[in-house]
Amino acid sequence: MAILLSKALFGDEEGAAMRDFLQPEGIKQSVRSSKNYRLDGTDPDQAALLLLFDTRMQRTWLVKTTKRLYCVLDDLREREPNVNWSMPVQSAVENGTVTLDIRNRGPSDTGKSGLIDFGVNHRDWLYSPRLFTVRPVDEEIRDFLMK
């Protein structure tokens, strides 16, 4: 039982994808794998990044190009980061105002993680409160979207 659980959580040796986290430049380039990148066409090197969630096995990044906002999950158990979702920037920001409903649902009882919603289509995303000690995560995201 313990071996099966270990394989489920960490992968077996044949399929294990244990690796290092990608550096920020690698995360930017990972958006090229998104099915929606062809709609973007901008240079990912010029993208802005915001680290949202950070544990020893996973990191979640927001990547914003001039045309799209991407949510990238870098999970060490996977061979490469995955773009979990993306949306046009114009769906989040209009006329210099953030229109996307960003809801900080607060940290868990342990304080190690919290939940945030990005509108109705992207709910229950984890964030790390320790990354947002100066200002609340939703305020940081709003400022990030305005860059």
The full set of domain ranges for the chain reads 18-146
- What pTM did the predictor assign? 0.84
Q: How far apart are CA 6 and CA 45, in angstroms?
A: 37
* CATH ID of 18-146, from 2.30.29, 3.90.820, 2.60.120, 1.10.287: 2.30.29
What tokens appear for 41 in the block? Answer: 């066409």
How far from 55 is each of 22, 27, 28, 45, 74, CA to CA, in Å? Answer: 14, 16, 19, 25, 10
Which positions ≥6 away from 45 have C-beta within 8 Å? Answer: 25, 28, 29
pLDDT tens digit sequence for 5-47: 444 445 544 445 579 999 999 999 999 888 888 878 888 999 9
Question: pLDDT tens digits for 86-120?
Answer: 999 999 999 999 999 999 998 888 889 999 999 99
